[in-house]
């Protein structure tokens, strides 16, 4: 049995940047995959000893239980403000926030926009599932037109509730952002692209290039009241046309 544990026989080994605690996320949720990708990037860049993550209220609130790095919890929406302070105190550390759309694009809109405008040297990992996933499936700023939620049971009416926000396009216009991209993790090819994007973001942050934002469009099968497979299909048919995947701002655009 010991022979099969040798490096030459290993097909896959869980990164040591993740703890052994069982994830609490719903089956089919993208958070677990995103956690693994962030952890693998931290390990591959040899940043574990100097990484500080910030997890605010939301689906990501327990992220500190899954990462073997220093973590600080923030009030709802305030992760970019806390990350600003930490990054300025420890300028050589890898500082990142892990936020959902209800957090980043609603109660944290001001903190997000001003951190990006100042070009704070942080990585923002932004998981967009179109609703408040943890607190009951309420409508978020990213909820699509006519999309149903617990607080818009007949669908989002833009005349009454406004249009959904494209946060990545918004912050890409700010001078402090260096790299802004939108990816997904529901298929192997997308997982690979997302990992490359996260790796670029952390590398740019280590080079002190300013704010890096990686948006990841994900499902919320529990909040959407769908099976995991159905939610992924719905995401492709409805979320991706409004939130198209790909790089939005790269160093070449400057």
pLDDT at 3: 62
pLDDT at 10: 73
Residue pLDDT, tens place only, 37-47: 999 999 999 99
pLDDT at 254: 62
Q: Could you tell me if 56 and 74 are in contact, meaning their C-beta atoms sit under 8 angstroms apart? A: yes
54/150 Cα distance (integer angstroms): 28
pLDDT at 60: 78
Q: How many CB atoms are closer than 10 A to CB 33? A: 19
Give the residue carrying structure tokens 């599932």.
129
198/212 Cα distance (integer angstroms): 9
pLDDT at 153: 93
155/148 Cα distance (integer angstroms): 4
Burial class of 103 by CB neighbour count within 10 A (0 to 12, 13 to 18, 19+): buried
pTM of the model: 0.94
pLDDT at 53: 97
If you compute the radius of gyration of the chain from its CA atoms, what whole number of angstroms results? 18
40/64 Cα distance (integer angstroms): 16
Domains of the chain (ranges; CATH) run 2-253 (3.40.50.970)
User: For the chain, which residues score pLDDT lower than 70?
Assistant: 1-7, 254
pLDDT at 1: 54
């Amino acid at each position: 049995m010991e022979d099969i544990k040798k490096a030459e026989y290993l097909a896959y080994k869980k990164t040591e940047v993740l703890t052994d605690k069982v994830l609490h996320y719903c089956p089919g949720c993208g958070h677990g995959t995103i956690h693994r990708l962030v952890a693998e990037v931290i390990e591959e860049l040899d940043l574990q000893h100097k990484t500080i993550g910030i997890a605010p209220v939301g689906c990501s609130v327990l992220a500190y239980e899954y990462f073997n790095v220093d973590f600080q919890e923030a009030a709802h929406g305030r992760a970019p403000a806390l990350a600003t302070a930490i990054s300025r105190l420890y300028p050589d550390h890898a500082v990142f926030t892990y936020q959902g759309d209800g957090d980043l694009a609603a109660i944290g809109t001001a903190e997000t926009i001003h951190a990006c405008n100042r070009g704070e040297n942080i990585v923002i990992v932004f998981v967009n599932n179109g609703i408040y996933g943890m607190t009951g499936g309420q409508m978020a700023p990213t909820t699509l037109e006519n999309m149903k939620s617990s607080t818009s049971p007949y669908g989002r009416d833009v005349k009454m509730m406004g249009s959904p926000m494209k946060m990545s396009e918004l912050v890409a216009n700010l001078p402090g952002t260096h790299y802004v991209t939108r990816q997904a993790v529901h298929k192997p090819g997308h997982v690979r692209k997302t990992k490359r994007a996260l790796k670029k973001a952390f590398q740019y942050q280590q080079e002190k290039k300013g704010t890096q934002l990686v948006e990841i469009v994900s499902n919320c099968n529990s909040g959407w009241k769908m099976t995991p497979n159905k939610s992924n299909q719905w995401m492709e048919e409805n979320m991706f046309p409004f939130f198209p995947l790909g790089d939005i701002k790269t160093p070449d655009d400057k």
